[in-house]
Chain A
């Protein structure tokens, strides 16, 4: 029982990381219809930014998180401004921005590889490495910190979308871009903010995840795949769906590795199997879209 509970804490933390990447996908997807596979690269770049800020800049790890998010928000905004906006304004097809962002994915990756002399870097969490127990629940400091930070972020986004005029304007654009524009909503601003916000959230996911392992360029692809799978599982229409999808995916992965009577290497197939199953059986994900008000 103690093993199971400790595993659930760890899996919840992993699910939170997946959920944040799924949220980064969602923030771009909803108002623009663009699937941004560079979300994993943004997470990786966020981790590198936090490493530079805390190692060279001497900032404490807790402050490196918002600082890295800010750096990536600027990169996200520049990406939209330089690659996506010109394509949209020239009437390029729906696929063009997705392909442009795939191109940016390669550029991001190579720039990071060429800019850093070592392949891996350590990143300290705000509370260091250690184990803590809350009654029957036990886990590492970082796992509990990831869960707490993610809940705070999701509550913040939920309040933003549900309780603010700006959030409602995002939702309006997601429902119907043309009608939203006719109502006076600034589409350029909404799109730019969605890219900046998505990059900041992805960066936060990367920074939260890195103290559990290390900062390295190759961390991006698994995060992109797992985040996208979490998005599909949770449903692409709701903010809370991203988190739910992430947690379902992480539980499936870790419980399979721990308890399924198969070689642990085969548990690698959990993510693609779950993704395909949801696409076939429940294509809208676990949470359905809310009725438009």
Chain B
């Protein structure tokens, strides 16, 4: 009995010692992602970008002489779970946290990271994320919703549209995007001649699209996000022989639509944060394609830049001390990542949302793929 107890104690000591050794040789970065909830469809590709960045950095000497260790937690895109997962990651000794589900989940996780002043970054685009809490170490890396909409409006202005249709679905995000589309359209002097909602669970969008056709708009703004309802929209558009230009939100940059609405999206204009004209994008495409055997879209690049921004700050801080990392993040200036239009760069000098105002682009769908950039910036 005594011998057995000794063996257990020895095994525990070895386990503790080896665990400490591992902890000392790595820098832990926490990731709160959605692997089981309704944000999974974009969170998973973003996570693949975070993993790729970690692998790439580790293969090139690591960070401060140590390997990066990703500690990944699934919040199922549930805000309350996100907050508790943030605490779990902090308890596990992470240096910083990346939030990769929805804006509401990131918002809740901030309630936890603010207490310990843990560096916290996200690519989520809600404009209010850095406004609700005075969390001096929370930074937004992705393009804000307002930047995306202003960019699309700038493109619409260039096209001189005067009468447009606005179509969305009944998802919360779809409704918000439609609301902002409408506000910005009216501000731009464009008349919304018809507004239609394709509710989740619809079997056809023919009634809505017949109304759109009857209103004779010059272009159709599509603010929806639900995949199935998006396919119904495109099917009805083609079935009714409509020819108007469709302008979509950043959600159309998610490649799953190309699969489910295959061949139906030709010529659609959509917002993206990914400019294939940039050398950084070309380098990223090379690395990603080598790793995964397929070409990436913008989503993995969000994850790649999330970790990229953190790592450059930790390098400049020369330490994993949270206060120093926060200061280094705040001092980030003219950092060029994979995302953002050619000639623009990230900077947190004017606030905690660092994506360049002129960094979003408008691209067209061509040959059932994300095609060329046809417009850049908000002017």
Contact = CB atoms under 8 A, between A and B. Distances in A.
A189 B36 CA distance: 39
A89 B343 CA distance: 73
A209 B261 CA distance: 15
A222 interface: yes
Interface stretch (A75-83, A92-100, A115-123, A277-285): A115-123
A250 B201 CA distance: 12
B289 to A, nearest CB: 19
A119 B170 contact: no
A120 B210 contact: no
Contacts of B210: 3, 6-7, 258
Contacts of A267: 199
A223 B260 CA distance: 19
Nearest to B41: A119
Contacts of B229: 213
A29 B154 CA distance: 57
A225 B201 CA distance: 10
Contacts of B198: 264
Given A213-B231, A258-B210, A265-B170, A120 B196 contact: no
Interface in A190-233: 209, 212-214, 216, 218-219, 221-223, 225-226
Contacts of A7: 206-207, 210
A17 B41 contact: no
Nearest to B227: A120
B160 to A, nearest CB: 28
A177 interface: no
A10 interface: yes
Interface string B217-229: 0000000000111
B211 A212 contact: no
A6 B206 contact: yes
Interface in B189-234: 195-201, 203-204, 206-208, 210-211, 214, 227-229, 231-232
A265 B259 contact: no
A129 interface: yes
Nearest to A120: B227
Nearest to A142: B235
B229 to A, nearest CB: 7
A85 interface: no
Contacts of A114: 36
30 contacts: A11-B204, A13-B203, A14-B204, A118-B41, A118-B259, A119-B40, A119-B227, A121-B260, A122-B260, A129-B263, A140-B235, A140-B239, A212-B231, A213-B229, A213-B232, A214-B228, A214-B231, A214-B260, A216-B227, A218-B200, A219-B228, A226-B201, A254-B204, A263-B197, A264-B195, A264-B207, A264-B208, A265-B170, A265-B197, A268-B170
Given A7-B207, A212-B204, A254-B206, 9 more contacts: A7-B206, A140-B239, A214-B260, A218-B200, A254-B207, A258-B211, A263-B195, A264-B199, A267-B199
